[in-house]
């Protein structure tokens, strides 16, 4: 009997925590840094509810089931897209453009594994973050045949960027300003006669610290997301846009919502499952958060999306998506 009361108290505590978090999320959000950090972990507030299902079946309490169901409905409302594709996969019979985004970890020590991972994905365009000097040289020497078009901006540590392609690419000459982990690459891709605008980005990572620093951290990342979204919007009238990289933010964050203002999420449209990409650690806990994304404009559609192979070296899993010109969009490529 005491154990039953303990489990009932645990359930009500869990429900209360979820209710308090959701209220703060809706009305405060990451304007307060601590709430932004809690948003990152919010999916895991619901895990104890699943563990308590046997107890609910035993108790058969309408009151307890009502509270549990309310939380379950909230979970489905927030994350249903991960388990029910949105259906934005309408595409004509044109060939597919396979896009990969991949944070390779600037401090790792086995770049052969990363090279093999890129090859294994069989992508047409690969947008890379944390490209250091050593990895850039390896790309030039080992991937020149498969990816003859390369725009590399390597830096020591984690600040380098790089995009490699089977199709011609060139920088647009535009910049986004601001201070980034890696300076965004704004590129024009010639996909068999169709120009596609590519954006390779790496935003500021979260920082667990004093409130003033966490608040500033979220403010900067949100500003970066606004810059990315505004640039994508400015290009959408003339060409399809693919904006991919390491957002360092989960899918209930302000930064993510900003990116979705004008762009679709390839994982939601082409895959089923949580899509977690970080941290890709050799031991638990691993793959807890979805922070790497392939966003795209409405002139494109997603046929399929999937996680890249786990090479065991980078702290991120790559994301791969097969894109095609959407039905009704002009300029479908033929080759």
Architecture of domain 97-325: 4-Layer Sandwich (3.60)
Separation CA 185–CA 17 (nearest Å): 41
Reading the chain (335 residues) residue by residue, the pLDDT tens digits are 788 888 999 999 999 999 999 999 999 999 999 999 999 999 999 999 999 999 888 888 899 999 999 999 999 999 999 988 665 555 555 689 999 999 999 998 788 999 999 999 999 999 999 999 999 999 999 999 999 999 999 999 999 999 999 999 999 999 999 999 999 999 999 998 999 999 999 999 998 888 999 999 999 999 999 999 999 999 999 999 999 999 999 999 999 999 999 999 999 999 999 999 999 877 777 889 999 999 999 999 999 999 998 887 899 999 999 999 886 555 444 43
| DSSP annotation string for 259-319 | HTTT-EEHHHHH--S----B---SSSS-S-B--EEEEE-TTEEEEEEEEPP--SSSSS--E
């Amino acid at each position: 009997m005491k154990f039953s009361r303990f489990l009932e108290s645990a359930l009500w505590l869990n429900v209360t925590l979820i209710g308090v978090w959701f209220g703060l999320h809706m009305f405060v959000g990451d304007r307060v840094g601590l709430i932004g950090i809690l948003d990152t972990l919010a999916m895991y507030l619901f895990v104890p509810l699943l563990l308590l299902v046997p107890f609910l079946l035993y108790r058969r309490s309408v009151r307890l089931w009502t509270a549990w169901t309310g939380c379950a409905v909230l979970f489905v409302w927030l994350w249903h897209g991960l388990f029910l594709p949105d259906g934005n996969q309408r595409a004509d019979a044109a060939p597919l453009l396979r896009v990969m985004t991949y944070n390779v970890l600037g401090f790792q020590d086995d770049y052969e594994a990363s090279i093999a991972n890129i090859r294994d994905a069989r992508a047409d365009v690969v947008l890379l973050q944390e490209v250091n000097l050593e990895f850039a040289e390896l790309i030039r020497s080992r991937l020149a045949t498969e990816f003859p078009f390369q725009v590399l901006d390597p830096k020591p540590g984690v600040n380098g960027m790089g995009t490699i392609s089977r199709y011609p690419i060139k920088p647009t000459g535009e910049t986004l300003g601001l201070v980034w982990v890696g300076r965004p690459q704004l590129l024009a891709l010639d996909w068999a006669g169709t120009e596609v605008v590519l954006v390779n980005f790496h935003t500021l990572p979260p920082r667990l610290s004093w409130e003033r620093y966490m608040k500033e951290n979220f403010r900067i990342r949100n500003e970066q997301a606004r810059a990315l979204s505004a640039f994508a919007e400015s290009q959408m009238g003339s060409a399809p846009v693919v904006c991919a990289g390491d957002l360092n933010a989960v899918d209930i964050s302000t930064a993510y919502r900003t990116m979705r203002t004008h762009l679709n999420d390839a994982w939601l449209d082409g895959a089923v499952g949580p899509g977690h990409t970080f941290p890709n650690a050799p031991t638990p806990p691993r793959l807890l958060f979805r922070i790497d994304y392939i966003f795209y404009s409405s002139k494109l559609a997603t046929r399929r999306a999937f996680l890249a192979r786990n090479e065991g070296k980078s702290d991120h899993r790559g994301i791969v998506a097969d894109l095609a010109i959407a039905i009704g969009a002009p300029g479908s490529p033929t080759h």
